[in-house]
Structure 1
């Protein structure tokens, strides 16, 4: 066999082997498409789609720091520094029953480096007017200034509520678990549950609502009304409360009236002077109001330093008929996002 024959045979063999394995050649995989974050404008500003879903997410919150002052406000000191950081995650998507909303709000309060607490401020789901979970009571809504005291004890509860809303009218009812620590009534511990109901309206320059709460453990209740009216350069706010006896929703006094007038001086400045009077502030061993009166007067000054940066100065004076007078307040700076 000649060398030429051997070479030709080798070339043919290699060609055959190469042809046999041509189908097994390594082919680079196509890159997976990247899904970028999409803006969701169906529910307002700040929402975006969670990648791979049709659920819209909004992240918001604020950083707040205060210098508080008042008699022995921090042990033997009349001045106390205090800081809070809060973040809220809110999700929304459409369902056959309407918009499904979920809210988680995490809050950390820091009095100093060692005295801090982190808590679930809110955590609830909302659909078709129904809301269930840890949420703020309607009793948390009050006048815009810092002078008034229009609720008692904690105002967030594990609750189930329903609210019907139109553009200018709303009505709702809630069942609240009142298991938080009780403050004023002698010998009273955590309660069982309460029921609150409210109606609200808007009509031109006027708005307001009527709210009631019944404490099933104490078998006492309270009624509160707040009305706002745009008058002149500002907004007048009037409030009144009557309580049948000391109860979780209101136990500051048997009845009280409050008034404020918020004036927006410029796009940056607003001033709110206010006054509140309390009648029958003392509570006997049976939880009944037994006498005494008090009043609080003060002013709140708001200043918008820049976009998303605000400041607030609150100075209040409180005087009780049979007690000492007190001056207190705070200077606050808050960055929203």
Structure 2
């Protein structure tokens, strides 16, 4: 038995020696090195290096769900409205000897009820999908090219859910920004004027609107900005082309190109002494033939059963082109009651003036006297929202907004129950609930 054990043990030792020798003769196989994603802290939070490059990228976006009640004037309009939207954005940055080279992309998708949006009682129902390119621009050595928030804008509806009257337009630009140090910068550029056109071709007895011809001169925009510890302030101005098509059959005249302009001033105060994160925004703008820079739009003043057109310019009864004039102002107070609960209180006012040549006065036995056409008017929007953020980048909020429209004298209102009537003002309420997750 001892002999058998010695034989087996010797065989095992010999097998191990031979196996080890043969294994030593085999070629060594090593795993390829793994290139891990590295954090790019110098570009900001959420950036990482693209593997194999010195370029940093941030991927972000949001998902938003809104429910709104909008006071309507007709059974044909949706009073309860829903909206669901998504946003994806990419921010790509590379440090170069000339400074930062940046490319930014933002794409929006959504589905909403037809009567959901900025206006009131616009007479649409049903649900539709929407989507498209929201922002896409390149910045390099002071140059900005692509689609971006207009350099004329300042507050731009930062914190309110519904829209109030202030300039808030994403448009195509080619601009240069000079930084002077100490928080001062000056931007000069050209922007796509078609994004700012406010035209109506409705015709009336004493005046008629103009239809837009093709753009031959872009809008020229300049903005002086200062950013300090106390907040920021901006002065901006824009030159806007008014180019009507050839008009025949009304006055027999050819209406040549004219130019309008807009000027703006705004200031933001950081109210950290009141509560960390609190802010106060105040701004105002004046326009002559460029009312899109006030927050006006071709949808006009729509309030209850009142629908008043808006236009940059019109032709009066004497065949002369007249430009609309107006001004707008807004204020927004953002206050943090706690680190997770904040409230906004905001208001806007806009006034448009066309003059006596812009409208026609009628008098009917059943309605009395009223104006039709491009009627002088002013509008108030006042509202507030409160938002709870139980975790970072997650908001649950509610907002209420009151709007009042005051046209000059009386205008026609389409009362769904009693037909047309002449009224001197109209108002309405709306409320919104919002759930939003940013990432």
> In structure 2, how many angstroms separate the alpha carbons of the residues matched to 1:315 and 1:129?
41
Partner residue, 2:284: 240
| CA 1:240–1:198: 2 relative to 1, 3 Å | same
2:135 aligned with 1:122? yes
1:55-107 C-alpha deviation (Å, 9 max, x unpaired): 11110111111112213499622111101111111111122211111111121
Task: Report the secondary structure of 1:39's partner residue.
Answer: coil
1:212 to 208, 217, 237: 237
1:187 to 210, 222, 245: 210
> In structure 2, how many angstroms separate the alpha carbons of the residues matched to 1:135 and 1:204?
25
Task: Report the secondary structure of 2:386's partner residue.
Answer: strand
> In structure 2, how many angstroms separate the alpha carbons of the residues matched to 1:300 and 1:70?
16
1:148-163 matches, within 5 Å, as 148-151=164-167, 155-163=169-177
Aligned residues of 1:282 and 1:292 also touching (Cα < 8 A): no
1:309 to 389, 394, 419: 394
2:380 aligned with 1:295? yes
| CA 1:162–1:181: 2 relative to 1, 3 Å | closer
Partner residue, 1:13: none
1:248-327 matches, within 5 Å, as 248-250=292-294, 252=296, 254-280=326-352, 291-322=376-407, 323-327=425-429
Task: Report the secondary structure of 1:60's partner residue.
Answer: strand
1:149-198 C-alpha deviation (Å, 9 max, x unpaired): 1126xx12221111223352222122112334844544344745211111
Task: Report the secondary structure of 2:40's partner residue.
Answer: coil
| CA 1:265–1:184: 2 relative to 1, 3 Å | farther
| CA 1:141–1:188: 2 relative to 1, 3 Å | farther
Aligned-residue offset at 1:204: 4.5
Aligned-residue offset at 1:131: 0.9
Partner residue, 2:147: 134
> In structure 2, how many angstroms separate the alpha carbons of the residues matched to 1:96 and 1:302?
43
Aligned residues of 1:281 and 1:294 also touching (Cα < 8 A): no
Unaligned runs of 5+ in 1: 1-24
> In structure 2, how many angstroms separate the alpha carbons of the residues matched to 1:182 and 1:75?
30
Aligned-residue offset at 1:27: 5.4
| CA 1:328–1:107: 2 relative to 1, 3 Å | same
| CA 1:183–1:116: 2 relative to 1, 3 Å | farther
Aligned residues of 1:243 and 1:251 also touching (Cα < 8 A): no
> In structure 2, how many angstroms separate the alpha carbons of the residues matched to 1:178 and 1:77?
33
Aligned residues of 1:269 and 1:303 also touching (Cα < 8 A): yes
> In structure 2, how many angstroms separate the alpha carbons of the residues matched to 1:75 and 1:83?
22
Aligned residues of 1:215 and 1:248 also touching (Cα < 8 A): no
Aligned-residue offset at 1:293: 2.0
Per the normalisation by structure 2, the TM-score is 0.63
Unaligned runs of 5+ in 2: 1-24, 114-125, 201-208, 243-257, 297-324, 360-372, 408-424
Q: Which has the higher strand share?
A: 1
Partner residue, 1:56: 56
Partner residue, 2:41: 41
Aligned residues of 2:198 and 2:291 also touching (Cα < 8 A): no
1:328 to 430, 434, 437: 430
Partner residue, 2:253: none
> In structure 1, how many angstroms separate the alpha carbons of the residues matched to 2:230 and 2:392?
27
| CA 1:157–1:318: 2 relative to 1, 3 Å | same
Partner residue, 2:104: 103
> In structure 1, how many angstroms separate the alpha carbons of the residues matched to 2:270 and 2:55?
39
1:209-243 C-alpha deviation (Å, 9 max, x unpaired): 11212212351111111122346625332221111
Aligned residues of 2:342 and 2:387 also touching (Cα < 8 A): yes
Aligned residues of 2:89 and 2:105 also touching (Cα < 8 A): yes
| CA 1:101–1:314: 2 relative to 1, 3 Å | same
> In structure 2, how many angstroms separate the alpha carbons of the residues matched to 1:48 and 1:275?
40
